Chain A
Amino acid sequence: MVRRFLAGEKGRPRRDALQVQDVQTEVCATFMKKSAKVINISERAERESSFARDMLGPLVGMGLTINRMMDNLTGKVNATIRYPEERRAYSDRFRGAHILTAREDGSPRCVACYMCATACPADCIYIEPAEHPDPLIEKYPARFDIDMLRCVFCGFCVDACPEEAIIMSRESELCAYTREETMWDIKRLMSRPELPEFGLGYRPNETLVDSTIKFVPKEKEKKELAGRITLKEDVEMIPHVTFDPTKD
């Protein structure tokens, strides 16, 4: 039982599992692994030192290294991916670029209460409120700018929002050619053409409660770029990061 526990998940022997010899030291090692608070290294080294162990230990370790190398060479395990053609799947709580959610009619859910701007440690949110014709809504943002260069992606704005109006996506690729492009205005924050590639990130509820995302599909534009830089169009994304805003 203990041996199986120590043997690791895929049956591949662990180094310290091989080094224990009798049950007593096994139990001792298990105890040390579980509590793992203070390990007296010299005592342990004295107890475990023997000629066979000193000679076999490195060989076993080398065996593991060679195993991994063979895995890599045969393509069984891949440490690297071919970014940007391939992307890693980020966590559902990843804090990427922000999304402003919308009401049913497509107007912003935000009521310009400044809670996000107050909570923001980087002071990167600029809001300009205006009078909403509906007295029950009363206030809406005429301007809502986020300076993506200043933003530290802490997610405090999402935590502070009382209306689920600002949530985050998993989008992390925010490079731009000019500084002006890094200033995201309300239009950009609400209509997110990049969203299907990345999906929703940090947000209060897994499925949005009475707010929707105004999704505007990306227009295909072919940029003529000087020199050797070419844009790769129609690159196939790995399927598990593709995102459908209506289903997620």
Chain B
Amino acid sequence: MPKFTLNGQELEAKPGQTIIQAAEDRGIEIPHYCYHPDLPIDGNCRMCLVDVEKMPKLTPACTTIVNEGMVVRSDNERVKEAVRGVLEFLLINHPVDCPVCDQAGECRLQDYYMVYGLHTSEIPLGMKVRKRKVIDLGPMVVLDQERCVLCSRCIRFFENVTETGEMQFFGRGDHVAIGTFEDRPLDNPYSGNVVDICPVGALTSRDFRFKCRVWFLHATDSVCGGCSTGCAVRIDHRDGAIFRLLPRRNVEVNRSWLCDEGRLSFHELHNGERVQRPLMKGRDEVQAPVTWEDAVRAVDSRLREIREVNGADSILGFASPSATNEALFLFKKYVGDQLGASRFDFRLDSEDKKLAEEEDQILRHFDKHPNSMGAIKLGLISPELGGIDGAIDAARVGRIKAGVVMYIEPLVRRPGDEEAEGRLLELIDELEYSVVLATHRAEWQASASVVLPVAAWSEEDGTYTNFEGRVQLAGKAIEPGGDALPVWEVFAMLLHAGGAQSLWMSVGDVFATMTENAQAYRGIGLDQTRLPGVVVG
């Protein structure tokens, strides 16, 4: 472990670490454009120049490996003068169109100018080298060559992460610009990442373009609900609407990346009509809105009635692999422990169909539900039932009379989803009494006895278990519409109606009960589920 001194402060670096990495670990920021922790080191921007004792010239911190006893200064006049000079060079041909630039507010040029620059530009606007603006680069990216500082992060991303190599430098001298060959669109499934890694406004998001200035947005740390990988994301939202998803760095799962599918998955949430109020079928067999109290009391007493007449095995619990661990745990507790049912499942489409979906070695997973592993770990699968087909058959012959069906719409829609919803319709038609917990209004819910509105992804706190068993915390960003409640709250109410003594006031309470009672989650704490998450056995 080499020790070195940075700005008079004794620090310890890991072997092989560069100065910028060692400083970053201690929360000391050395200004940089081209350095990125998940990309190979390039050392072309010269912003990270530091003064190392006994070295004749200033040296870039991103390429210099820490040696024992090194004395480094990043705050003396010599360094500041050099950084100011570099910044002045970078800004020579910059168009300074911050008012129309989407990067404004999170732009490194703006940030460093306020710290190191504050110089007046020697080049009048008319003498600057003009390059091309507003170049359409496929469905995710818009390119503005003038704003580029030529840090080559995007080029290295496509060369090393996706290994497709679409982008390159073109031209010479001060006419160098980034671009794709003949402006071909970036059609690879990770192209949105170059927008995040671009430190300036050269590459901006097509989806987020002009939607909102970034300083109006509020950020909530969450986990992507698009597939079973469970990438750590940041939800940027304002006034109850989500504007964009950005990856958070989780070295164990997604590093700094996020796939385009997941990046755009939040649009599905605002798509279509939501269930607003609890609906219950009256004597006239028409669903009418009722209060939550009435709905919970009616559901609980009717399910108990069916249990008394037909036995506990006549009740089916059909969970959703998109619900949180806490929701699934209380669901199991209510339907399994309190009502005594033993038939559970959560799979709507058969496994071999899933395997045919697109998958790659970077992030994307074939299972488009964020919490299938959680449902498996909580034992929401009964092999003897035989999936949804088995449930439909059992209901047809009368072995299953009632069902509690949870359906949280997947954020990444697939062609097979309508078919899967058709199977739910089949199941509900066969059942004598059916309780549906749904986020979005759909035709198949029309024949259900009770429809309860529940919160979708990003509308409730909770943890998700990804495909490798990593439990991660996802925060609540926006309020669910109408009277919708989080799923765990619905089952907590049902458990209370059925006489449960425990009091669950928050997701933390449910999580605590879950870590006491559920075998797979035993002994983990809520704090452990923050970055990078905890893997359960």
Contact = CB atoms under 8 A, between A and B. Distances in A.
A138 B134 contact: yes
A131 B99 contact: no
Contacts of A130: 210
Interface in A162-196: 162-163
A151 interface: no
A114 B134 contact: no
Contacts of B99: 111, 113, 115, 139, 162-163
A118 B133 contact: no
A38 interface: no
A121 interface: no
Contacts of A118: 213, 215-216
A135 interface: yes
Interface in B97-147: 97-100, 104, 132-134
B210 A112 contact: yes
A113 B215 CA distance: 12
A204 interface: no
Nearest to A142: B210
Contacts of B215: 118
A136 to B, nearest CB: 7
Interface in B388-412: none
Interface residues of B, number: 13
Interface centre among B97, B99, B104, B133 (most CB of A within 10 A): B99
Nearest to A165: B99
Interface in A90-123: 111-115, 118
B213 A138 contact: no
A129 interface: yes
Given A136-B133, A138-B133, A138-B134, A113 B100 contact: yes
B36 to A, nearest CB: 27
A93 to B, nearest CB: 25
A143 to B, nearest CB: 12
Interface of B: 97-100, 104, 132-134, 209-210, 213, 215-216
A22 to B, nearest CB: 61
A131 B134 CA distance: 10
B133 A135 contact: yes
Nearest to A137: B100
Contacts of A131: 209-210
Interface in A117-169: 118, 129-131, 135-139, 162-163
A215 to B, nearest CB: 25
Contacts of A139: 99-100, 210
Contacts of A129: 210
A113 B102 CA distance: 9
A125 to B, nearest CB: 12
20 contacts: A111-B100, A113-B99, A113-B100, A113-B213, A114-B213, A114-B216, A115-B99, A118-B216, A129-B210, A130-B210, A131-B209, A131-B210, A135-B134, A136-B133, A137-B100, A138-B97, A138-B133, A139-B99, A139-B100, A139-B210
A137 to B, nearest CB: 8
The 5 lowest CB-CB distance pairs between A and B, nearest first, are A113-B99, A135-B134, A129-B210, A135-B133, A139-B100
Interface SS majority for chain B: loop
Interface of A: 111-115, 118, 129-131, 135-139, 162-163
Nearest to B132: A135
A129 B215 CA distance: 16
Contacts of A138: 97, 100, 133-134
Contacts of B134: 135, 138
A221 to B, nearest CB: 37
B208 to A, nearest CB: 12
Contacts of B133: 135-136, 138
Contacts of A162: 99
Nearest to A133: B134
Contacts of B210: 112, 129-131, 139
Contacts of B213: 113-114, 118
Nearest to B102: A139
Contacts of A113: 98-100, 104, 213
B113 to A, nearest CB: 16
A131 B98 CA distance: 16
A207 to B, nearest CB: 22
Nearest to A136: B133
A164 B368 CA distance: 50
Contacts of B132: 135
Contacts of A136: 133
B118 to A, nearest CB: 18
Contacts of B104: 113
Nearest to B97: A138
B323 to A, nearest CB: 36
A118 B216 CA distance: 8
Given A111-B99, A113-B99, A114-B216, 5 more contacts: A113-B100, A136-B133, A137-B100, A138-B133, A138-B134
Contacts of B216: 114, 118
Nearest to A114: B213
A118 B105 CA distance: 12
B487 to A, nearest CB: 35
Nearest to A138: B100
A16 B458 CA distance: 75
A223 to B, nearest CB: 39
A190 to B, nearest CB: 19
Which of A129, A138, A163 has its CB near the most chain B CB atoms (within 10 A)?
A138
A160 B246 CA distance: 29
Nearest to B104: A113
A115 B209 CA distance: 17
Nearest to A129: B210
Contacts of A137: 100
A118 B98 CA distance: 14
B493 to A, nearest CB: 38
Nearest to B134: A135
A224 B215 CA distance: 49
Contacts of B100: 111-113, 137-139
A135 B134 CA distance: 6
A113 B104 CA distance: 10
A139 B210 CA distance: 8
A30 B98 CA distance: 56
A111 B133 CA distance: 16
A113 B213 CA distance: 8
Nearest to A161: B99
B306 to A, nearest CB: 53
A113 B212 CA distance: 10
A176 B35 CA distance: 58
Could you say which of B104, B133, B210 has the most chain A C-beta atoms within 10 Å of its C-beta? Answer: B210
B273 to A, nearest CB: 24
Contacts of A135: 132-134
Nearest to B96: A162
